[in-house]
Structure 1
Amino acid sequence: MLKKIFTTSNDRSSKYLKNTFFIIIFQGGNVVSNFLLVTITLNFLGVEEYGVWITLTSLVTWFSFLDIGLAHGLRNKYAEAKAENDFLKIKSLVSTAFFSLLFLSLFGFVIVFLVGSNLNWATLLNGPDYLKNELRNVGLFMVSTFFLRLVLNIVAVLKTADQQPSVATFLTTSGNILSLVGIFLLIEFYNPSFLQLGVVLSISQVLPILIAFIFYFSNSYKNIFPKIEYFSKSNLNSIFSIGFKFFIIQLLNLIILQSNILIIAHVCGPESVADYSIAFKYLWLIIILHGAIINPLWSASTEAYANNDRVWLKNIMSRLNRVFLVLVLIGILLIFGSSFFYKIWLKGNIEVDYLLLFLIFLNFTFTMRYSTFRMFMNGVGKIRLQLFVTSIQAILHIPLAIIAANYLDVYGVILVSITWTFFNSVWEPIQFKKIISESAVGIWSR
């Protein structure tokens, strides 16, 4: 289907199709490994402790905002410099971004260690008090390795900017498969603690990135290996000027998405976190497929827009809209087949909640609709309106989600999220049409 939709002699489209194909293959590995990991950890921990585990791992992802948008800024500026064949600028951009990320990670680690050492993690995660020391230790370890990944991940950013996002996806898949194998062996032959599970999960995630960093900077990226003498304040300002906007948007989206887990944990209880997390992971398949297909659009849009190739951009959007309709149909089929799949997957530990599945599906449908256009906007740097809208949504989300959860339980939290994704699915296509037709003015053009 993808080959039929994207068939063209255009070199950019060929790269797009090739990377989309491999991303889907690698994401298939992600889906299988994640599903199996859920089964293993849920059976071992039980519903309540599994809910605490999910809340902990979700909380750790909050620290991704500490790159203050440098990765996204580098991605755009690197693609622009490469289109201009400015090799010296590329070397400076890479070194500047790397040492900036290194400094931020060290600073973040010190702050988190000082604060986290004196924090009651059981209260934070709404878990049992007897786990407070273990949760503190595993939380600090997982955050520490996350900061290491933040620095090493520059290699995945560069491959993505080079229109090879399938490499970054492969690294993620490798980490997930290692996590699955490691935790399976740990549970099979030992009676692991939360700390041991967290150590295996964290090391498994960072190992592929470390290997890739060493491999690529010893080979294809050898000439742009980060060196402190290439650090440039002017290039830092260049990266930061657009990167900081991405940072704010990333942080606000993280608040909206990850606060749902914490709100459900505290208002509805850990059991509701498990129900929500399972339904979310089950339907996440369509988001994974959609993300695999639109992921190459970011850097491809940067190149196409710089070359004023608006015909290609219109054609690719038309084709992606057809893919969207196919994925909606797949989502409907997943809901109808959920009872059968839950029995095989979860072995009766959790029953199907059809209303929960439907609401999450609705939220994902609107998310897929707007994220295609957002990927283009990110690629061309037209994100001022996105920043404004997301700021309002983030300010309103937590209080509205708490109120909704008190009245409508977990369903209320999802309904608030649906409100935002529906609104985004309306205005973002409008901005795309205005930019492509060169009629965008004011905030629509920034």
Structure 2
Amino acid sequence: MPDPHSALGTVAPEGPPDSGTRVPVAEPPAGAGRSRRLAAGVLTAGLARGAGLLAPVLLIPICLSRLGAERYGLWMAVLALTGMAAFADLGLGAGLMTKLAPCYASGDTARARGYVSTAYAVLTAVAVVLCALLWSLAWLVPWTSLFNVAGAVDPAETRAVVLICLTSFLVNIPLALVVRVQYAYQQVGESNLWQGAGALATVPLVLLVAWLGLPAVAVVAAASAGPLLANLTNSVWVYGRRMPGLRPGIGAVDRRLGAALLRLGGMFFLVTVLTGLSTNMDNLIITHTLGPQSVTAYAVPARLALLLGALVTMLNLPLWSANGDALARGDLSWIRRTVRRMVVLSLLATVPPAIGLVVAGDRLFAVWLPVPLDGNRWLLGGLALWFLLIGSFSALMMVQNAAGVVRPQMVGLIAYVAVAAVAKWHAVEAYGIAAIPFVGTAVYALTVLPAGLYGYRRTLARYDSPHPASPSVGHAVEQGSAATGVRQERRSRP
């Protein structure tokens, strides 16, 4: 676990936490120090979150045996719906992390607390309103028809699964903001430990439910509870002991900062919507073309392959805040050097398990799962290729996210969703589920990848300046980002 004082220095305010005064903060690490913190974050991510990501995969045999193929397929389809509804945070989580990076670089804790408090206020209100609407209208929606499980799963049970998954998702919207705050303040390792603990907490909860012989919906509830408990406990620790100077409060809510945050968040909102659609459309396409049992045949290997994509994302996500700090200081050479290294590291970390998935995945499923799968190696190979392609270039996206340069990603994702949705639907009908990842890989390489490369070069070009960064650069970057989400001052003022 990182040194409690290494990231913020004397972060605890000399006066009351709610005084709104500027808190003395030690100079954040730069250059080699930033690289050491990034390496520590990547290492802890691989150890802590890697173990946490394995938890849901290890529980697949228990969940399949307790739920059956139809109910498990329903559950995966509902989770796909929550993934597509990730836009419910309005992009504020991503926008908050981008806004906090210059605050961290300049030591402006008062402004940072304003952003944190405003984000919590908005997202708490959103979660409350959406939960009220969900529970008020849930009995009017034909869920069994929506998920194509009529006759296979009881309507009341279907509604219960939907309510459990969606309510957990909505409650976690404001709770998950603590992760963004920790990443922005380069406490990546500590955040990863908490997230890994939340995932691992689901294992004893699900085992207890299965041992007690509780209904199938209880298994879904137990699997949903772990991350909520982890984020709640983490929030108490961070704002109570770790960083009390950033503790959210009503008095710190700032409309001006909120407007800037919403402008930038709106761009991330659109990207999140498109990303959720692009990564979660597969289960819904399959359930409507081939039925829920085919969703299980696809979702189980896809969930195992998802570990590859999650691993690469986990390795590269610390770059977001580190790049924000480097941009605020004008350290573009560090960004270029680190991006190249992270692309290579991402490939080295994912190619061996991808090969193992293709070579031995079918035998693993046959021994491990109570419900037989067809063990299609074309499907496994396509899934491995898909997540390798996405992950290999995520380092470039982190540079754009740190600068608030969102439009290139948005254009690429719009083209991907429009083309892939139609292509995958026809491919499933013609060639089966094994065609989905290959179609996705081809369309992604033709749409999102070129847009991402353009956005990366455009970001560095905008921040490139012949003058060295002045002490006010961080504040200038933050103000420019607030105005447009993409603009950077190209020269220092005299």
Normalised TM-score (structure 2) = 0.82
Return the alpha-carbon distance in structure 1 between the equivalents of residues 166 and 454 of structure 2. 39
By how many angstroms is 1:256 displaced? 1.6
> What is the total number of aligned residue pairs between the two structures?
435
Give the 3-state SS of the residue equivalent to 2:444 in structure 1: helix
Are 1:138 and 2:158 matched, yes or no? no
Counterpart code for 1:95: S
Q: Give CA deviations for 1:282-317 in whole Å, capped at 9, x if unaligned.
A: 222322321222111111111111111111111112
Counterpart code for 1:220: R
Are 1:250 and 2:272 matched, yes or no? yes
Query: Taking structure 1 as reference, are residues 334 and 405 closer, same or farther at Cα in structure 2, changes over 3 Å only?
Result: closer
Return the alpha-carbon distance in structure 2 between the equivalents of residues 188 and 380 of structure 1. 49
| 1:195 paired residue number | 217
Counterpart code for 1:189: L
By how many angstroms is 1:393 displaced? 2.3
Q: Give CA deviations for 1:133-188 in whole Å, capped at 9, x if unaligned.
A: 12212322332232221112221111011112333333332222222211112112
Return the alpha-carbon distance in structure 1 between the equivalents of residues 362 and 169 of structure 2. 36
Q: Give CA deviations for 1:385-419 in whole Å, capped at 9, x if unaligned.
A: 11122123223333332222222222343333213
Alignment of 1:205-216 (within 5 A): 205-216=227-238
Are 1:306 and 2:334 matched, yes or no? no
Out of 427-436 and 140-149, give the one that drifted further: 427-436
By how many angstroms is 1:261 displaced? 0.8
| 1:61 paired residue number | 83
Return the alpha-carbon distance in structure 2 between the equivalents of residues 108 and 348 of structure 1. 36
Query: Taking structure 1 as reference, are residues 160 and 336 closer, same or farther at Cα in structure 2, changes over 3 Å only?
Result: same
| 2:362 paired residue number | 339
Counterpart code for 1:144: T
Return the alpha-carbon distance in structure 2 between the equivalents of residues 188 and 351 of structure 1. 29
Out of 13-22 and 417-426, give the one that drifted further: 417-426
| 1:117 paired residue number | 139
Give the 3-state SS of the residue equivalent to 1:217 in structure 2: helix
Return the alpha-carbon distance in structure 2 between the equivalents of residues 56 and 22 of structure 1. 31
| 2:299 paired residue number | 277
Of residues 178, 194, 206, the one that matches 1:171 is 194
By how many angstroms is 1:237 displaced? 1.1
Q: For structure 1, which runs of at least 5 residues remain unmatched after alignment?
A: 1-7
| 1:4 paired residue number | none
Return the alpha-carbon distance in structure 2 between the equivalents of residues 97 and 128 of structure 1. 40
Alignment of 1:4-403 (within 5 A): 10-129=32-151, 130-190=153-213, 192-326=214-348, 327-346=350-369, 349-403=372-426
Out of 407-416 and 116-125, give the one that drifted further: 407-416
Return the alpha-carbon distance in structure 2 between the equivalents of residues 45 and 221 of structure 1. 42
Q: Percent identity?
A: 21
Return the alpha-carbon distance in structure 2 between the equivalents of residues 63 and 115 of structure 1. 17
By how many angstroms is 1:121 displaced? 1.5
| 2:13 paired residue number | none
Are the counterparts in 2 of residues 98 and 151 from structure 1 also a CA contact under 8 Å? yes
By how many angstroms is 1:337 displaced? 2.3
Stretches of 4+ moved more than 6 A in 1? none
| 1:5 paired residue number | none
Higher helix proportion:
1
Counterpart code for 2:381: F
Return the alpha-carbon distance in structure 2 between the equivalents of residues 388 and 163 of structure 1. 30
Return the alpha-carbon distance in structure 2 between the equivalents of residues 30 and 127 of structure 1. 31
Are 1:429 and 2:425 matched, yes or no? no
Are the counterparts in 2 of residues 79 and 162 from structure 1 also a CA contact under 8 Å? yes
Q: Give CA deviations for 1:178-202 in whole Å, capped at 9, x if unaligned.
A: 2221111211231x32321222222
Out of 172-181 and 375-384, give the one that drifted further: 172-181
Are the counterparts in 2 of residues 138 and 195 from structure 1 also a CA contact under 8 Å? yes
By how many angstroms is 1:89 displaced? 0.9
Normalised TM-score (structure 1) = 0.91
| 1:3 paired residue number | none
By how many angstroms is 1:224 displaced? 2.5
Are the counterparts in 1 of residues 93 and 177 from structure 2 also a CA contact under 8 Å? yes
Query: Taking structure 1 as reference, are residues 113 and 400 closer, same or farther at Cα in structure 2, changes over 3 Å only?
Result: farther
Query: Taking structure 1 as reference, are residues 325 and 202 closer, same or farther at Cα in structure 2, changes over 3 Å only?
Result: closer
| 1:408 paired residue number | 431
Return the alpha-carbon distance in structure 1 between the equivalents of residues 230 and 299 of structure 2. 26
Return the alpha-carbon distance in structure 2 between the equivalents of residues 395 and 181 of structure 1. 41
Counterpart code for 1:415: F
Out of 31-40 and 299-308, give the one that drifted further: 31-40
Out of 328-337 and 300-309, give the one that drifted further: 328-337
Are the counterparts in 1 of residues 412 and 451 from structure 2 also a CA contact under 8 Å? no
Return the alpha-carbon distance in structure 2 between the equivalents of residues 66 and 136 of structure 1. 21
Give the 3-state SS of the residue equivalent to 1:219 in structure 2: helix
Return the alpha-carbon distance in structure 2 between the equivalents of residues 272 and 13 of structure 1. 45
Give the 3-state SS of the residue equivalent to 1:382 in structure 2: coil
By how many angstroms is 1:25 displaced? 0.6
| 2:476 paired residue number | none
By how many angstroms is 1:274 displaced? 1.2
Query: Taking structure 1 as reference, are residues 299 and 439 closer, same or farther at Cα in structure 2, changes over 3 Å only?
Result: closer
Q: For structure 2, which runs of at least 5 residues remain unmatched after alignment?
A: 1-29, 465-483, 488-494
Are the counterparts in 1 of residues 80 and 281 from structure 2 also a CA contact under 8 Å? no
